[in-house]
Amino acid sequence: MKLNLEQNPNLNLITGYGADHVLINKVRHDGNLILTSDRVIPWTSAGVEQLGADDFALLRDLKPEVVVVGTGTRQRFPSPQVLRPLIEANIGYEIMDLAAACRTFNILATEGRAVVAALVFDAS
């Protein structure tokens, strides 16, 4: 699906996505990644079920206001123990499917919020 938004050229926005990729400012990225308004960071190679607290500690260390976790084609919830680094740091988080996470990230980023998207694709 293609997303079209008026775009600040200095802001990372998701301009499209598919089951195995996202387009960030029209550039294709394959594989799990972390996205902020100004950075694209390759992330874990694990699927949602294999995510650990260390994966979420990395998100915490980016000091976001909120983390949007995209879990592939369907919404899948990591265990509360895995989310502990965010909970203890009092960082808000939302777990949603990839499409919803992409849309939500764009809305929050264009509002100037300190948002991090953690995008995990379905295993092939």
* CATH value at residue 47: 3.40.1230.10
How many domains does the chain fold into?
Answer: 1
What percent of the chain has pLDDT above 70? 93
pLDDT value for 114: 97
Q: Domain range for residue 60? A: 31-119
Element spanning 103, H or E: helix 98-110
State the pLDDT at residue 124: 59
Contact predicate 97/74, CB 8 Å: yes
Beta bridge partners of 70: 96, 119
pLDDT of residue 49: 87
Within a domain: 11: no
Q: How far apart are CA 115 and CA 64, in angstroms?
A: 5
List residues bridging with 23 in a β-sheet.
16, 28
pLDDT in tens, 51-105: 999 999 999 999 999 999 999 999 999 989 999 999 999 999 999 999 999 999 9
Considering just the CA atoms, what is the radius of gyration of the chain in Å? Answer: 13
Could you tell me where the DSSP H helices lie in the chain? 53-61, 80-88, 98-110
* In a domain? residue 105: yes
Asked if residue 32 lies in contact with residue 120, where contact means CB atoms within 8 angstroms, the answer is yes
Residues in contact with 61: Cβ distance below 8 Å, sequence separation at least 6, in sequence order: none
pTM summary value: 0.89
Question: Which pLDDT band, with edges at 50, 70 and 90, does 3 fall under?
Answer: low
Residue 25 included in any domain: no
